[in-house]
Amino acid sequence: MADNKALLSVEELKVYFRSEDEVARAVDGVSFDVGREETVCLVGESGCGKTVTALSVMGLVPIPPGEIAGGKILFRAKNLLDFNDSDMQKVRGNQIAMIFQEPLTSLNPVFTIGDQIGEAIQIHQTATQSEVVERSQQLLKDVGIADPAQRLRDYPHQLSGGQRQRVMIAMALACDPDLVIADEPTTALDVTVQAQILRLLDTIQKMRSMSVLYITHDLGVVSKIADRICVMYAGIIAEQGNKDAVLKTPKHPYTQALLASLPNREKRGQRLYSIPGTVPNPAYKPDGCPFHPRCQHTIQNCSEQYPGMCDYGDGHHARCPVLFEGGKGNWCD
């Protein structure tokens, strides 16, 4: 699936967490690309390895207990896993920025918004005090914050949750990144504010020609912003493809089950489908396909062999040989 034009190309990434008596295979052979000016959504239930994947790209996995057990993370065709700390520091911020889920814990409560945006600007460029103030105000304007001069003097607790997330986005933009990784940036916000932030990210992405890796557990959000979707389950990519292909013609039983459990107008008043069973503990994943104990299409092979990626064309792939051409998909051993 390597695409020469991809800005980011994650290849067979494996990230394990080792404790005294077990190894949690949090990310277990994940491959995907993010093209230029593309929005790719990583979607999956809590614990499936989304954040660890994002932290790996940022070079922020805590090692130990974490270890990069395999794979490559190619950014502009260079493997970030070969970079030392100081080179990685230059990439973070200058080229790749990350927006986290909870803006209140990412902002320092004892410094003003102006201090914090100013710091983000100065990490990456030398500027005079008045240039920093001017740039900070412009960034706040860009993210739709009214009265930026006043807001720069505020402390984080004086802002609403939505405004704080806008400030976090402004800080991520301070270095003019090529790629923004947003890890559940709207999860802590109410639905209206969530929609505003999504629109904002969309506008900024187009204005600045950035690529976005957007992480969420919410398929409703995905349908609004994704160009392409990667569906993760238990540390692997179960399915990936263009948004419409994945949402309208899902090929992996897990994606199908996720979509069936989504509320929509036709299902109003009906009881929603929920996937039976629970996500496996990454230290004790079942053999074969990690989804097989919860799957409606399981055959004996599923618990014995690892399912191969099946190619549905146009970049649409699903790791389920059972549903591919009447069961003719590849198995790996």
Ligand X SMILES: Nc1ncnc2c1ncn2[C@@H]1O[C@H](COP(=O)(O)OP(=O)(O)O)[C@@H](O)[C@H]1O
- Our CB check for Mg ion shows the closer of 51 and 211 to be 51
**From 48-56, 155-163, 237-245, 262-270, span contacting ligand X (CB under 6 A):** 48-56
CB of 9 to Mg ion, least distance (A): 22
Counting contacts by CB under 6 A, is residue 41 touching ligand X?
A: no
Site for ligand X in 276-305 (CB under 6 A): 282
The answer to the question of residue 51 lying near ligand X (CB under 6 A) is yes
C-beta pairs of 292-300 under 8 Å, 24+ apart in sequence: 294/254, 294/257, 295/253, 295/254, 296/253, 296/257, 297/253, 297/322, 297/323, 298/322, 299/327
Q: Which does 65 bind (CB under 5 to 8 A by kind): ligand X, Mg ion, none?
A: ligand X
The alpha carbon of 142 is separated from its chain's Cα centroid by a whole number of angstroms, namely 23
**Site size for ligand X (CB under 6 A):** 14
CB of 53 to ligand X, least distance (A): 7
Of 261, 203, 254, nearest to 230 by C-alpha is 254
Q: How far is the CB of 315 from Mg ion (least distance, A)?
A: 25
In single-letter form, the type of residue at position 8 comes to L
CA distance 224 to 14: 29
Which residues are near Mg ion by CB under 5 A?
Answer: 50-51
Stretch that binds ligand X, among 41-49, 100-108, 125-133, 153-161 (CB under 6 A): 41-49
Contact partner, 292, from ligand X, Mg ion, none, Cβ < 5-8 Å per class:
none
Structure tokens at 316: 């649409």
In this chain, which stretch among 49-57, 97-105, 158-166, 261-269 interacts with ligand X, using CB under 6 A? 49-57
48 in contact with ligand X (CB under 6 A): yes
**What is each CA distance from 188 to 52, 100, 110, 216, 324, in whole angstroms?**
19, 11, 22, 12, 38
Query: Per rule CB under 6 A, is residue 46 in the interface with ligand X?
Result: yes
Q: Which is nearer to Mg ion, 159 or 215 (CB)?
A: 215
Residue type, 53: T
Which parts of 53-112 interact with ligand X (CB under 6 A)? 62, 65
Q: By CB under 6 A, is residue 25 in contact with ligand X? A: no
Element containing residue 28 per DSSP (H, E): strand 23-34
Q: Which of 61, 96, 38, 91 is nearest to 240 (CA)?
A: 38
Which residues are 130's β-sheet partners? none
Closest CB to ligand X among 44 and 253?
44
Q: Got the DSSP string for 227-285?
A: SEEEEEETTEEEEEEEHHHHHHS--SHHHHHHHHTS--GGGTTSPPP--SS-PPPTTSP
Q: Which amino acid is at 281?
A: N
How are strands ordered across the β-sheet holding 78-79? 23-34, 8-18, 66-75, 78-79
- Residue 50 engages ligand X in binding (rule: CB under 6 A): yes
CB of 113 or CB of 181, closer to ligand X = 181
Binding region for ligand X (CB under 6 A) out of 30-38, 42-50, 242-250, 307-315 = 42-50
Q: Which residues bind ligand X (CB under 6 A)?
A: 17, 24, 26, 44, 46-52, 62, 65, 282
